[in-house]
Structure formats: structure tokens, C-alpha cells
Homo-oligomer: A and B are copies of this chain.
Amino acid sequence: MKSKQSPSRKRPCVAEALAKEIFSGTYQPGDFVPREVDLCERFALNRSAVRSDLRQLVDAGIIERISGHGSKVREYPEWNILDAQVTEWMTRYAAPNPGVQREILAFRLDVEPYVAMTAAKHATAHDLVAIEEAFNGMGSDLDDTTVNRDGRLHSDYDIAFHVAIFKATHNIVWSQLSHILRPSILLLIETSNVSASDPAESLERHRSLMESIRARRPRDAFRASQAVLAGTASALGLEIPDTPLGYSAELLSET
């Protein structure tokens, strides 16, 4: 017999549990999380395991360990939101503050048309397959239940669609950036109950984007991506303080 009371579960992840509490506001920037010994007691783990998990939070820039004093939650701007694990937690446990989400959204509105453009230039047959599969998933989901059964399936396909386009750029930076955009994509989808706007219309915009990439027409892809973003954003009555459509619109019109 082990000393652990529950031999079934693999191991409780202290990092995840703590991250959940931090993200939900139980511990805020400046606060100190419980001592290592207390965490050991809470999760029935050894200090080694606890410290190992805590290390992950340190690497993510979420907490700062002060020798002999404790572990302090760092300020939001210091969090490494470009870390895939951090954005994973973001998708699960809401954003720490809405401001971050809005900034990520603004970033998307700025760059995604470019990404679509680059994808149209570099996409291979393999990339197109991935894009098309995601698109078909979105379509079938809509066909099945007119809307979507639980929101999960459709959002998964939607995310896969956008991520596939990022990967089609064949640029490692863009590809990895797709991870951090997942919380934003998910937020948009969940907030704007897709049925709010016309689902078929949204699907048609996505199709147009896909076809532009397939036909290798960068400028069409650029505009199609703008349309997709604008459609989604307006569907939930969302407005970005400034640069509503990124710099692109301005550039296109002024010149």
C-alpha cells in the first residue's frame, strides 16, 4: 500500500491548481501564495514535486520566488503570455483581467490579414488539407444542429481553421504565435453565441478566405481575412478603441 490516499489519479498538478486560483483572482499580483510546506499538505505531495511545479509558474513569469520570504504573484505585464502553457490556462480559467484579452484581440485584428496573405503565398497542398478539414468540420457542425450542440466542437474547428492558416505561413514565429491567439479565438466564439449573427454568412466568409488561399491570391486572402474578423467582431457588438481594423484599412485607402 502506498502512502498516497488515491492511487488512481496520476498526480495532482500543483502548477495547474495554483494557476487556476491565480487566474480567477484568489491570489492577485503582489500577493504571496501559500508556503511550500502548506502546498505539500494541501496536495499531499512532497516538497520536491511542489517545487518542480512551482518552477513552471516561475518560468511562465507568473510568480517570483524570493529566497527566505515566499513566492509572490508578479504583475500582469510581466507574465509571459507568449508561453503556450499560459495561454492554455487562459482558455480554461478566463483571463486575469479583460484588458489583456482586448489587447490580444487588437493584435489579432492587426496581424491576421497579413498572416492570411502570407499563407496564400506559401501554403502547400498539405496545409490546404488541414485548412479544408477544419473548414468542413465547421460546416458539418452547422449542418448537424443548425447551430452547434455544445459550442465545443464548433469552436475547436474554428480554432483549428485559424491555426492552420498560421502554420501555412511556414514561418516559425507566426506558427508559434497561433498558440497564443487561441484564447482570443475561443473568447470571440463563446461570447458571440454564433447564432447571434447569421451562421451561414460567417461560414461563407471563412470559405472565401480558404478559397483565396487555395487560389494563391494574397490580396484576396488579405481582404477575406479582414471580412472574417470584422464579421466576428461586429457579431458580438465588439468595438476596439482604436485601429478598428488594423492599419491595413488605412493603408489601403490612403494610398
Contact = CB atoms under 8 A, between A and B. Distances in A.
Interface of A: 48, 51-52, 55-56, 59-61, 76-77, 80-85, 100, 103-104, 106-107, 110-111, 114, 117-118, 121-122, 171-177, 180, 218-219, 222, 242-243, 247-248, 250-252, 254-255
**Copies of the chain in the assembly:** 2
A218 B251 CA distance: 10
B110 A176 contact: no
Contacts of A218: 247, 250
Given A77-B172, A81-B172, 6 more contacts: A59-B60, A81-B176, A82-B176, A82-B180, A219-B250, A222-B247
Contacts of A48: 48
B177 A82 contact: yes
A172 B243 contact: no
A84 B101 CA distance: 21
Contact of A121 (B52, B103, B242): B242
Given A171-B107, A172-B103, A85 B114 contact: no
A57 to B, nearest CB: 10
- A-B interface, 7 closest residue pairs, ranked by CB to CB distance from nearest: A82-B82, A107-B173, A59-B59, A103-B172, A252-B255, A55-B55, A103-B171
A84 B80 contact: yes
Nearest to A219: B254
A244 B106 CA distance: 26
Nearest to A253: B255
B247 A117 contact: yes
A164 to B, nearest CB: 15
A231 to B, nearest CB: 21
B247 A176 contact: no
A177 B84 CA distance: 14
A173 B82 CA distance: 8
A219 B255 CA distance: 10
B176 A104 contact: no
A117 B100 CA distance: 21
A126 to B, nearest CB: 14
